Homo-oligomer: A and B are copies of this chain.
Amino acid sequence: MNQKIARFFEEEQPATPCLVVDLNVVAENYAAMRAALPDSDIFYAVKANPAQDVLKLLVELGSSFDVASPAEIDEVLAAGGRPARISYGNTIKKQRDIAYAYQKGVRLYAFDSEAELKKIAEAAPGSRVFCRILTDNDGAEWPLSRKFGCAPEMARDLLARAPKMGLKPYGISFHVGSQQTDPGQWDRALEAAAKIFRDLADRGIDLDMVNLGGGFPTRYLKDIPAMSIYGGKIFDAIRQRFGNRIPRTIIEPGRGMVGNAGVIRSEVVLISKKSANDNKRWVYLDVGKFGGLAETMNEAIKYPITSERGGEKGPVILAGPTCDSEDVLYEKTDYQLPLNLEIGDMLTIHSTGAYTMTYASTSFNGFAPMKAYYIR
């Protein structure tokens, strides 16, 4: 937690749970990405944190935007973003939602199936389309399933048909998995993308763009490689796979842009043991899996959690405040908190700027979504 956020808590004493995001950290992340991949365009993944403050800042900085739904298009436009800077990256769209986007001026669409391509052809004629391909996700802490993407051969054949359908075949996208800590994973996907570029060039179709997706990690419990290392490795792979015909590249950071900019403050509601000779304390917080920490599902994302108390630490099981037994944050992962921790203490849950607020349930168990504050 930086000093500015610490001062905010000190001065404002906001009710808990709450999220505080330092917009300057977002700006620093944007600058680091620009520097690491100077030839790539940044399309911020709005779903990571769609707050107007974040979107307005990124509009000012010159970012483009990856959106998942009409509501996200509206948010970007409300923040001053231009439709030409929007990519409708969800491969699962209702046709009327495509029509809505088209009417708002969006001209860049993702697909991964024949049926989706047909919908785009009908509802967004003349638009540029890119096809998402399936990749393996070794090394990702929040791996992606086979839900998105298709086999490279299918991508090639569908892109080849796009011109006859009145669409502009524009490129290939892939996603190496969110919170990807192995920069080498991009190379395998780039190899498949380059082959599609060559195959289609043989058929007289020139693709322009490779969408490198997101996956750039934020620091949770483990250290991660610096953004500059990602940039270098990815650019090396692009050169190796595409030779002297380097395509336009775009990246879709979400977690990497806002994750480390935010912290959640939570009150300790209860500390207990299950029997007299239990050696692990249960520590119950006022935020849990259904209040914003959904990514603790299967203990996938391990947020650093700290107390202001010093002194010796001991093992804890961490859980949320609802009556849902699934609302346990960390039981297998070894978390330690001070032995003198008390009910009513405040804990800081770090690197929670991404994928927290929007996951929060409307009112599960009657708990309202937490408030969020965006500061500079």
A residues lining the B interface (CB < 8 Å): 45-47, 50, 67-72, 75, 89-95, 112-116, 119, 134, 142-151, 153-154, 178, 267, 269-276, 282, 284, 286, 290, 294, 297, 319, 321-328, 331, 343-344, 357-369
A104 to chain B, nearest CB (A): 13
Which residues of B lie under 8 Å from residue A362 when comparing CB positions?
A: 357-358, 360-362, 369
Top 7 A-B pairs, shortest CB-CB distance: A113-B272, A71-B366, A69-B366, A151-B275, A144-B325, A72-B366, A68-B365
Q: How far is the CA of A286 from the CA of B75 in the complex (A)?
A: 20
Are A147 and B286 in contact, with the CB atoms below 8 A? no
Which residues of B lie under 8 Å from residue A144 when comparing CB positions?
A: 325
A101 to chain B, nearest CB (A): 12
What are 22 inter-chain pairs, A to B, with CB distance below 8 A?
A: A47-B324, A50-B363, A69-B366, A72-B365, A72-B366, A89-B323, A92-B270, A95-B343, A116-B272, A145-B326, A146-B274, A147-B319, A148-B323, A153-B276, A154-B274, A154-B276, A297-B297, A297-B326, A358-B365, A359-B364, A360-B362, A362-B362
Q: How far is the CA of A260 from the CA of B36 in the complex (A)?
A: 54
Which residues of B lie under 8 Å from residue A269 when comparing CB positions?
A: 92-94
Indicate whether A272 sits within 8 Å of B359 (C-beta atoms), given known contacts A47-B364, A366-B72.
no
A326 to chain B, nearest CB (A): 7
Which residues of B lie under 8 Å from residue A149 when comparing CB positions?
A: 274
Closest-by-CB residue of B relative to A16 is: B94
Are B361 and A359 in contact, with the CB atoms below 8 A? yes
Which residues of B lie under 8 Å from residue A147 when comparing CB positions?
A: 282, 319, 325, 327-328
A71-B367, A145-B328 given; name 12 further pairs at CB < 8 Å: A47-B324, A71-B368, A72-B365, A90-B323, A92-B321, A95-B343, A149-B274, A154-B274, A154-B276, A359-B361, A362-B362, A362-B369
Indicate whether A150 sits within 8 Å of B272 (C-beta atoms), given known contacts A47-B364, A326-B145.
yes
Interchain CB contact (< 8 A) of A361 among B286, B361, B365: B361
Indicate whether A90 sits within 8 Å of B365 (C-beta atoms), given known contacts A147-B327, A151-B275, A275-B154.
yes
Which residues of B lie under 8 Å from residue A369 when comparing CB positions?
A: 362
Which residues of B lie under 8 Å from residue A322 when comparing CB positions?
A: 47, 68, 90
Are B113 and A70 in contact, with the CB atoms below 8 A? no
A346 to chain B, nearest CB (A): 13
